Structure 1
Amino acid sequence: MAVDFKVIVIGRGMMGAAAARHLSGMIDGIALIGPGEPSDRKNHQGVFASHYDEACITRTFDDNMVWATLADRSLDRYADIEARSGISFFSEVGCLFAGPKPRAGEGYLGRALDVAGVLDLDVETLDPATLRGRFPQFNIDGSFHGFFQERRAGHINPRALVRAQSTLAQAGGVEVIDATVTGVRDVGSYVEVEVEVGGKTYSAERILVAAGGFTNFNSLLPEPVDVRVAARTVVFFELGERELETFGSMPAAIVFGETDDDHVYILPPVPYPDGKTYLKLGGDTEAQVFETLESAGEWFRSEGNPSERDIIAATAQTLMPGLAGCPISSASCVATFTRTAYPYAGFTASSRIAVLTGGNFVAAKSSDEIGRLGAVLMTDGVLGPENFGEQLTPVMRASHGR
């Protein structure tokens, strides 16, 4: 049977759009299927994505060599993607880490310094006095040290990055189909993909499922991948002219408490589509997880967890007293955690259906390279050691007896 496409990528988010762009330069016959951002989030009953935002931290300073390398390779291509698409998404404002003085190889900061040494990253170490003097916007613990990556660090606009990837994918011949996939079926010599509207089906030689936190829903895979889809609440401070004078030149930042688990990430002031400028913060302390499309959708339609919002807001005002009096709002997103703590990029029980998912709450900065690995998987059938094939092997729930 003649198929409609050689490869269908399911999911028009950060990984899926990147995979489609890379595939467009490798082979013909590519389709990218997925819905766009809903215009009415609170009443939307379908799937969502976590890239519906204007700012995510990017940097190569990381405590894990694989993640640092994925980010480094992605950053290498930012300028080219911007130039060829005509869409800007990277703001090189630097990224500051602050926390208790680390010991070599111990804790996040200690491990990150070791990785930075191996990769020869340009990271400046700041003693407590220098840290407080250099970044007066922050009321940081007087004993904390700072680690500042000025170049190849800052924040990206995830919405704009997805637009840029999709624009280049289409220019390369990819057919972008605005639809929600409701089923995938391996029929032996090809794969059928059914979409929501009219029950229409498309066929392909191979399928790459890159549906983020919704990967295990809508019968996209022959068996579920072992992931934990967890709630995250983000908090926004609406800034006026006075606050912009104080915080307008700040970098992106991650500030630790006494332990690695106790930390907050901070995005500098960014204009949003409503015409206002916000400073965004978040953490990763929530325990709520989602096992159904309905529960995940209900979360995305909400403004997040009010208790978590209050905790983050209080932390923000302690760290940045200049935020006092700013209007506060919140929003919901999800993080998809894998059993291995790495992205999954590999085939399922079907040799025609592969999966690309698992951002582990740190993948926005690395999404272009993760997408490239998905494209290599589709064309070569395997990822070699240079592409971290062993580390990225998917773990399926069935293999753990669940």
Structure 2
Amino acid sequence: MDDSPSFDVVVIGAGPLGAATARHLADRDTSVLVVGPDEPARFDDHEGVWAGYYDQGRLAHVLEVPLVTTLLATRSRRRFADLEERSGVVFTTPVRSLSILPSAEENPQASTWFDAGQIMNNAEDLGVPVDALDEDRLRTDFPQLRFPRNHTGLLQKDAFIVNPRELVRAELTAAVSAGAHLVRDEIVEITHLDEGVRVTGRSGETWRADRVVMATGSATNAVGLLSRPVPMTTFGATVVLVEVDDPETVDMPAMMYMKSVDGTIEFGGIVMSPLQYPDGKWYVKVSGRSLLDNPLASTDEIAAWVRTGGRTDDIDETLAVLGELLPGQEWGPARTRPCMVCETPTGLPYIDRVDDRTTVVVEGERGAMAADEIGRLTADFVITGRWNDGIPHSAFQIPWADAEADA
């Protein structure tokens, strides 16, 4: 007889989406187990999967497209204060968020990601004030910064930096307080039974549940727990950390910076205002053009990428960008860290069933700032068995037919 502990739902993955889903399930009196490994102490000898939330800062703002993305982030943000109060974990820092975009004259074929008008319309729809800054306003408002000609800015003054490590800790703390069970293990097998499922951890422990939520992020296909792969691509990304002795000397907002010269994008990524990392030092974090250059398909490939520590060529690009932005600023040593991201063909998260017992949730590059709302939607979908939100479920459904046609 199987005497494994039994739950209504097992959430596989204890990152931002898994933690948020578990919290919202527990808040609705669902018996829930959330299982996932803790952050490894080092990466140079790493084996297995890796998470993208092992970091100190993600922007939470409305300067994004499409509108669905900004709506998810805005809904999450409205609950941040309550989550911080419930958990006792502060994971937000107020910040000005500045997006620098090539003007229509510089890049007439720019995609919607560089469409300032569309981003402004999104912000207006959500009731969030955003200032449009032409070249003269950029020079006036940010005299310490240097931007290329034919670039404009969008400024949100009430944005946040979200600490993804602390966000996960807050979600898990609230989930456990509401009755969820947290186990630090890695699920290696899902067995479908006549009634429910049994999941097995690398430790050999087993648990039973009526339903399973797969919240394994960029490793969703690599871990091999699904009956068929989800259409998505996993990338090994690089974060560059540049040390600063005194954060007060680095006078800049958090930025999304898209630099175009003669119609060619020369840099596109995040330049974060200084953040303090677990080693006690302050760093400016830059994630640039190589974000989607390194596709990975298996856990072995993920582990091998993590052990490299990231693409070292990104250091020179980062220092060049910072040198242009803040001429005369003194920078300390720079180093890389490995990161993981995933991209869906829809450009949006997935919240959908794989079978009658298994729901998959994938963030699609916007995990931290929108995680709480994605987790809420997932929990409601799992509990009720139907889609109840004003955003059509079709926005989050997995395009299985497209994947099969491409195979």
TM range (shorter): over 0.9
1-structure distance, mates of 2:338, 2:88: 30
Deviations 1:51-107 (A, max 9, x none): 111111110222211101001100101111111111111111120111233599964
Deviations 1:294-339 (A, max 9, x none): 0111112222112233223322222222444421111111111112
Letter in 1 for 2:356: S
1-structure distance, mates of 2:302, 2:72: 28
> More deviation in 83-92 or 211-220?
211-220
1:351 and 2:356 aligned: yes
Letter in 1 for 2:16: M
Deviations 1:113-148 (A, max 9, x none): 221232232001222222123223421124322211
1:279 and 2:281 aligned: no
1-structure distance, mates of 2:62, 2:150: 25
Does the 8 Å CA contact 2:242/2:331 hold for their aligned counterparts?
no
TM-score by length of structure 1 reads 0.92
1:245 and 2:248 aligned: yes
2-structure distance, mates of 1:280, 1:375: 33
2-structure distance, mates of 1:130, 1:154: 23
SS at match of 1:94: strand
SS at match of 2:300: helix
Task: Identify the match of residue 180 of structure 1 among 183, 186, 190.
Answer: 186
Aligned to 1:121: 128
Letter in 1 for 2:126: L
Residue 375 of structure 1 and its aligned partner are, at CA, apart by: 0.6
SS at match of 2:129: coil
Unaligned runs of 5+ in 2: none
Aligned to 1:389: 393
1:340 and 2:342 aligned: no
Letter in 2 for 1:343: P
Residue 260 of structure 1 and its aligned partner are, at CA, apart by: 9.1
Does the 8 Å CA contact 1:337/1:361 hold for their aligned counterparts?
yes
2-structure distance, mates of 1:398, 1:339: 9
> More deviation in 38-47 or 327-336?
38-47
2-structure distance, mates of 1:32, 1:284: 34
Aligned to 1:92: 94
| Distance of aligned partners of 1:123 and 1:179 in 2 relative to their CA distance in 1, 3 Å threshold | same
| Distance of aligned partners of 1:322 and 1:74 in 2 relative to their CA distance in 1, 3 Å threshold | farther
Pairing 1:130-209 to 2, within 5 Å after superposition = 130-151=137-158, 153-197=159-203, 199-209=204-214
1:318 and 2:324 aligned: yes
Residue 374 of structure 1 and its aligned partner are, at CA, apart by: 1.2
Does the 8 Å CA contact 2:132/2:154 hold for their aligned counterparts?
yes
2-structure distance, mates of 1:263, 1:230: 16
> More deviation in 326-335 or 215-224?
215-224
| Distance of aligned partners of 1:231 and 1:136 in 2 relative to their CA distance in 1, 3 Å threshold | farther
Deviations 1:234-291 (A, max 9, x none): 11110013xx3331x5321112122696422111111111111001011243421111
Aligned to 1:363: 367
> More deviation in 211-220 or 269-278?
211-220
| Distance of aligned partners of 1:284 and 1:345 in 2 relative to their CA distance in 1, 3 Å threshold | farther
Does the 8 Å CA contact 2:187/2:202 hold for their aligned counterparts?
yes
1:236 and 2:241 aligned: yes
Letter in 2 for 1:347: R
The alignment covers a number of residue pairs equal to 395
Residue 217 of structure 1 and its aligned partner are, at CA, apart by: 2.6
| Distance of aligned partners of 1:185 and 1:401 in 2 relative to their CA distance in 1, 3 Å threshold | farther
Identity of matched residues, %: 31
TM-score by length of structure 2 reads 0.91
Pairing 1:66-77 to 2, within 5 Å after superposition = 66-77=68-79
> More deviation in 360-369 or 32-41?
360-369
Does the 8 Å CA contact 1:223/1:398 hold for their aligned counterparts?
no
2-structure distance, mates of 1:191, 1:214: 21
1-structure distance, mates of 2:182, 2:111: 45
SS at match of 2:120: helix
Aligned to 1:26: 28
Unaligned runs of 5+ in 1: none
1:10 and 2:17 aligned: no
1-structure distance, mates of 2:57, 2:329: 19
Residue 383 of structure 1 and its aligned partner are, at CA, apart by: 2.1
Does the 8 Å CA contact 1:238/1:277 hold for their aligned counterparts?
yes
SS at match of 1:342: coil
1-structure distance, mates of 2:232, 2:197: 24
Aligned to 1:297: 303
